[in-house]
């Protein structure tokens, strides 16, 4: 991979685009695929994150398999420019940015997915605009106040139970720390190339002031009106939109037991626990995550073979509406 004129990594099948939102914000996004149903993929939230960094494997794969894929850079990330800070008011601002983005690129309905902060933004958008989302799929993140961050941390008994490296204002602007941050999120660091580190470091440093000013409100919203607006309790657990969740067994940010709390709170969502997978599963084990997302977004169900490879949860019976479960497997549970 090499950097483009936009200082993006060059990924075959992934194009760099801009769109002007109604607020005047210049939103950058990566896109793949020329026709077919729309998919929107949302990146994570550590410094240097972006649509291309988070979904450089999945977006071209889905684009080559009949989808139009959009990976926007949220304000404070990647190449999106929000100098007036129109969206710098926490998770609510991110939901509003996403709504303005999908309107600007003329997406009426779409499948939605995200990792980490992108998981949180996915569920927030689903409960705010359910009429726009056909299906949703999330990877390793928060689900709002239905299961809180504190509850997820409380069940983590591992010795390593501190903040993700580089979060909380400790990022020092160096490529050395950027590499350490990225490598901490995956089991296999072979995909952490020099070009990726350079791109993410430049993006993090370019957006550092915006990031530092806004991410505290994103991680822990405190405004009572925003909390009421963003609540997922009694909403996400009752939603009729089909959804799946993937959570790696070697996630550094939250233990698998935290995902079990989410699974218990979301009886309509099918959970998967892929083995040898870190916090950013879609870049750690791309072939597996690509196939799960493809089958679910294309067919509405994950095949039984893929579901088993992805570590389908054995904590409860599989959802026959979300997984193509053989009759003998269903009756055996």
Per-domain boundaries in the chain = 14-310
User: For residues 236 and 129, what is the distance between their CA atoms, to the nearest angstrom?
Assistant: 12
The mean pLDDT value for 113-128 works out to 98
User: For residues 262 and 269, what is the distance between their CA atoms, to the nearest angstrom?
Assistant: 9
Whose CA is closest to 136, among 229, 270, 255, 262? 270
Domain 14-310 class? alpha beta
User: For residues 236 and 255, what is the distance between their CA atoms, to the nearest angstrom?
Assistant: 22
Whether pLDDT at 40 is above 60:
yes
Whose CA is closest to 144, among 266, 256, 280? 266
The mean pLDDT value for 294-314 works out to 98
What pLDDT shows up at residue 165? 46
Tokens of 253: 């940010």
Whose CA is closest to 31, among 11, 19, 14? 14
What pLDDT shows up at residue 164? 47
Taking all residues of the chain, what is their mean pLDDT, rounded to a whole number? 93
**Top-confidence residue, 57 or 156:** 57
What pLDDT shows up at residue 5? 82
Whose CA is closest to 41, among 139, 181, 149? 139
pLDDT bracket for residue 146 (50, 70, 90): very high
Whether residue 203 contacts residue 173, with contact meaning beta carbons closer than 8 Å, is answered with: no
What pLDDT shows up at residue 170? 72
Contacts of 118 (CB under 8 A, 6+ apart): 41, 42, 43, 44, 45, 54, 138, 139, 141
The mean pLDDT value for 193-206 works out to 95
Whether pLDDT at 29 is above 50:
yes
What pLDDT shows up at residue 167? 44
> Sign (positive/negative) of CA torsion 100, 101, 105, 107?
negative
What pLDDT shows up at residue 237? 97
What pLDDT shows up at residue 169? 46
User: For residues 322 and 303, what is the distance between their CA atoms, to the nearest angstrom?
Assistant: 9
Rounded percentage of the chain residues whose pLDDT exceeds 90: 87
Whether residue 292 contacts residue 135, with contact meaning beta carbons closer than 8 Å, is answered with: no
Whether pLDDT at 310 is above 60:
yes
Q: Which residues pair with 38 in a beta bridge?
A: 68
What pLDDT shows up at residue 168? 43
What pLDDT shows up at residue 1? 52
E strand or H helix at 222, and its extent? Answer: none
What pLDDT shows up at residue 58? 98
**Top-confidence residue, 257 or 332:** 257
Q: For the full predicted model, state whether its pTM sits above 0.75.
A: yes
User: For residues 180 and 41, what is the distance between their CA atoms, to the nearest angstrom?
Assistant: 24
pLDDT bracket for residue 120 (50, 70, 90): very high
The mean pLDDT value for 245-250 works out to 97
Find the DSSP H helices in the chain: 51-55, 58-64, 91-104, 117-128, 149-154, 175-184, 194-206, 208-219, 224-230, 256-265, 281-284, 286-299, 304-309, 327-331
The mean pLDDT value for 132-137 works out to 98
User: For residues 201 and 97, what is the distance between their CA atoms, to the nearest angstrom?
Assistant: 23
Whether pLDDT at 114 is above 50:
yes
Tokens of 204: 């993090």
What pLDDT shows up at residue 166? 41
What pLDDT shows up at residue 6? 83
HSE-CB at 221 with a 13 A cutoff on CA atoms is 23
What pLDDT shows up at residue 162? 52
């Amino acid at each position: 991979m090499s950097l483009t004129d936009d200082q993006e990594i060059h990924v075959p099948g992934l194009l760099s685009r801009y769109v002007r939102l109604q607020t005047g914000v210049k939103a950058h996004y990566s896109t793949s695929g020329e026709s077919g149903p729309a998919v929107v993929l949302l990146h994570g939230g550590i410094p240097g994150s972006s649509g291309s960094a988070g979904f450089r494997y999945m977006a071209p794969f889905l684009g080559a398999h009949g989808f139009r894929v959009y990976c926007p850079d949220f304000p404070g990330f990647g190449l999106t420019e929000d100098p007036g800070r129109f969206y710098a008011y926490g998770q609510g601002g991110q939901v509003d940015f996403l709504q303005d983005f999908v309107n600007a690129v003329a997406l009426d309905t779409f499948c939605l997915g995200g990792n980490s902060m992108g998981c949180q933004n996915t569920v927030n958008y689903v409960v705010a605009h359910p009429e726009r989302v056909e299906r949703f799929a999330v990877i390793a993140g928060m689900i709002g106040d239905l299961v809180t961050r504190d509850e997820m941390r409380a069940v983590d008994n591992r010795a390593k139970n501190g903040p993700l490296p580089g979060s909380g204002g400790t990022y020092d602007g160096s490529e050395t720390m950027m590499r350490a941050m990225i490598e901490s999120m995956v089991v296999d660091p072979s995909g952490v190339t020099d070009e990726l580190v350079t791109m993410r470091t430049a993006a993090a440093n370019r957006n550092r002031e915006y990031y530092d000013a806004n991410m505290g409100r994103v991680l822990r919203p405190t405004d009572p009106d925003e909390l009421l607006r963003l609540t997922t309790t009694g909403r996400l657990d009752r939603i009729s939109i089909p959804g799946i969740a993937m959570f790696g067994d070697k996630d550094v940010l939250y233990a698998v037991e935290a995902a079990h709390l989410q699974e218990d709170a979301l009886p309509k969502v099918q959970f998967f626990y892929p083995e040898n997978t870190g916090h950013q599963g879609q870049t750690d084990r791309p072939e597996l995550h690509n196939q799960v997302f493809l089958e679910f977004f294309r067919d509405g169900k994950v095949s039984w073979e893929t579901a088993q490879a992805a570590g389908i949860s054995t904590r409860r019976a599989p959802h026959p509406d979300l997984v193509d479960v053989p009759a003998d497997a269903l009756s055996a549970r």
